[in-house]
Each structure stands twice: as C-alpha cells, then as structure tokens.
C-alpha cells in the first residue's frame, strides 16, 4: 500500500476508461460461460480482449512476496472466495463463478469483479448473490465526501449479516490509481463514523466478499486461492468508484455485463432485482 492520493478530474476520466474496459472484458466472459468450458478458457477470452483493445491485464505478473501471478484474471468457483487460478477445471451446471479483472491503460488502473450463476444454482446461493450485489450498492451510497471508511463497511456488513450471511474480514477493498492496491483499505465491515475521512478525488474499489456459511478462510493447495473453511459458497462483486462533491460516481459498469448474462441461456439471472 502507498500513501493516499487524490485524483484530478482528468485522472478520474482515465481510470474510468480502464474500468470500462474491465467491464467490457467481463461482458465478453459472460457471453461464453457454460457447462463444459474451462476457467482457463475464460481467462484466455478476457486476456485477448483486453490486449486487443489497448489495455494490459494488470494481474498478470503482479508480485505477491516472491510469487508472480501468471494470469489475466482471478476466477474463483463456488467455495473459492477470491484469487482463484484459472485452470483446467470444467464448469458444471450449478456452479457460481467469480471473475475478477484489472486493467492498466494510459498509466491508470480499473478493477472490477462479478459473480455469475451457471444453470440450476440452488436458491440459497442465488439469494446470497442477490444480497451481496445489493450490499455493494449500499456501500457505494455511503462513499460520500466527509463520511468515513467505516460508514461503507457498516452498510455492507449490516445488510449481509442481517440476511444471515458472514462477511470476509481477512480481505478488503482498496484505493485505485496508478497502482492496483493503494491506500486506504476499504473493509466490508466497520462502525459508522469510524476510520479515515473520505475526501473529494478519492478513487476506491469497494468489493464485498460474502459467505453463505462462516467467515473463516483457508488457502488452497495452489497457494493463491482463498477458500471458505466450511466449504460453503462465497460471492464477490466489485466496482471502482470516484468520490465527487455531488456524490460517488461508479466508474465500472455492470449494465453491459448484465446484458451479456441475459443473452447467455446458460446463465441464471433469476436473482436479478
């Protein structure tokens, strides 16, 4: 993490361009998700689309301690929470697939994630997706100048826990700009009025990671993928947003992702609000 930086109007516009390329890449992935497709194929679709459109998939080569992440996307299936490695896993009817993508273009980064439901997903898991997605927008609504980081986390936490789910506390949202992970950290839990004051020009990624069961996580054998310890499903949605005097502006765009979902008969959109 680095010192908090505040972005100009021009810089926010560049972050928006990167964020919209992320959204467009997520939409391309949404078009091809189906039983029988591997998660590695989804990564290939996203990687090629980003590169063809002038961006760089910033996750590729991202250094964590002494390891370099090898893929353009993180794809996390069912009980995998985040940081899942694309591989030869063949998607099954009833799976949920979280796809997280970051793009760097014009020196600025966009970051967004979306969880897709494939086919006959159990109703309790569809409900989890719905509530998690709702909580993202409730958190965004609290990202106002002079509010506090804790106001965002409180909104997410109270909605999700109020519906019987658990909030991942080991992983958080973050600032976005020239670097993928900037200060401040944006937890999905907190107290109203607590934490750093939010100021104009701040750009952050808000990303609820919400579990059907307990909040405790483990790490899979691949050394990257966070999984729920109880093996129950986890949902993840993420937007990059900017704080302005008139309120938060969402720089990424789920509407194009949702349109792609609706056009793919293999995806379950019955949980849409």
Q: What is the CATH number of the domain that holds 34?
A: 3.90.230.10
In whole angstroms, give the CA distance from residue 50 to residue 52: 6
Do 204 and 173 contact (CB within 8 A), yes or no?
yes
DSSP bridge pairs for 110: 103
Domain annotation covers residue 45: yes
Report how far residue 31's alpha carbon sits from residue 100's, in angstroms, rounded to the nearest whole number.
Answer: 16
At 1, the pLDDT band (50, 70, 90 cuts) reads very low
pLDDT tens-digit readout, 186-236: 999 999 999 999 999 999 999 999 999 999 999 999 999 999 999 999 999
Average model confidence (pLDDT) for the chain?
97
Print the domain residue range for 217: 9-263
Q: Would you say residue 199 lies in a domain?
A: yes
Give the number of domains in the chain: 1
pLDDT of 55 strictly over 60? yes
Please report whether residue 273 resides in a domain: no
pTM above threshold 0.75: yes
The answer to whether residue 269 is domain-embedded is no
Alpha-carbon span 79 to 171, nearest angstrom: 15
In a domain, 268, yes or no: no
Q: Per residue in 145-170, pLDDT tens?
A: 999 999 999 999 999 999 999 999 99
Which residues are CB-contacts of 195 (< 8 A; sequence separation ≥ 6)?
Answer: 148, 149, 150, 153, 184
3-state secondary structure 143-201: CCCCCEHHHHHHHHHHHHHHCCCEECCCCCEEECCCCCCEEEEECCCCCCCCCCECCCC
């Amino acid at each position: 993490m680095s010192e908090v930086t505040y972005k100009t109007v021009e810089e926010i516009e560049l972050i928006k361009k990167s964020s919209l390329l992320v959204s467009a890449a997520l939409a391309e992935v949404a078009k091809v998700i189906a039983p029988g497709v591997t998660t590695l194929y989804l990564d290939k679709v996203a990687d090629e689309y980003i590169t063809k459109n002038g961006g760089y998939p910033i996750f590729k080569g991202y250094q964590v301690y002494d390891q370099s992440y090898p893929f353009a996307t993180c794809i996390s299936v069912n009980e995998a929470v985040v940081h899942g490695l694309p591989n030869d896993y063949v998607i099954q009817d009833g799976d949920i697939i979280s796809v997280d993508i970051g793009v760097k273009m014009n020196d600025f980064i966009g970051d967004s994630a979306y969880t897709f439901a494939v086919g006959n997903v159990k109703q309790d898991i569809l409900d989890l997706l719905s509530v998690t997605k709702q909580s993202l927008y409730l958190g965004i609504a609290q990202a106002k100048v002079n509010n506090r980081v804790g106001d965002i986390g409180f909104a997410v936490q109270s909605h999700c826990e109020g519906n019987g789910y658990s909030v991942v506390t080991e992983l958080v949202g973050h600032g976005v700009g020239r670097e993928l992970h900037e200060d401040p950290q944006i937890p999905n839990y907190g107290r109203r009025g607590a934490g750093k004051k939010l100021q104009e020009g701040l750009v952050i990624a808000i990303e609820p990671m919400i579990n059907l069961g307990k909040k405790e996580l483990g790490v899979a054998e691949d050394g990257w993928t966070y999984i729920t310890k109880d093996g129950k499903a986890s949902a993840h949605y993420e937007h990059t947003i900017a704080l302005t005097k008139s309120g938060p502006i969402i720089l990424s765009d789920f509407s194009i992702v949702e349109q792609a979902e609706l056009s793919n008969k293999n995806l379950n959109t019955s949980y849409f609000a």
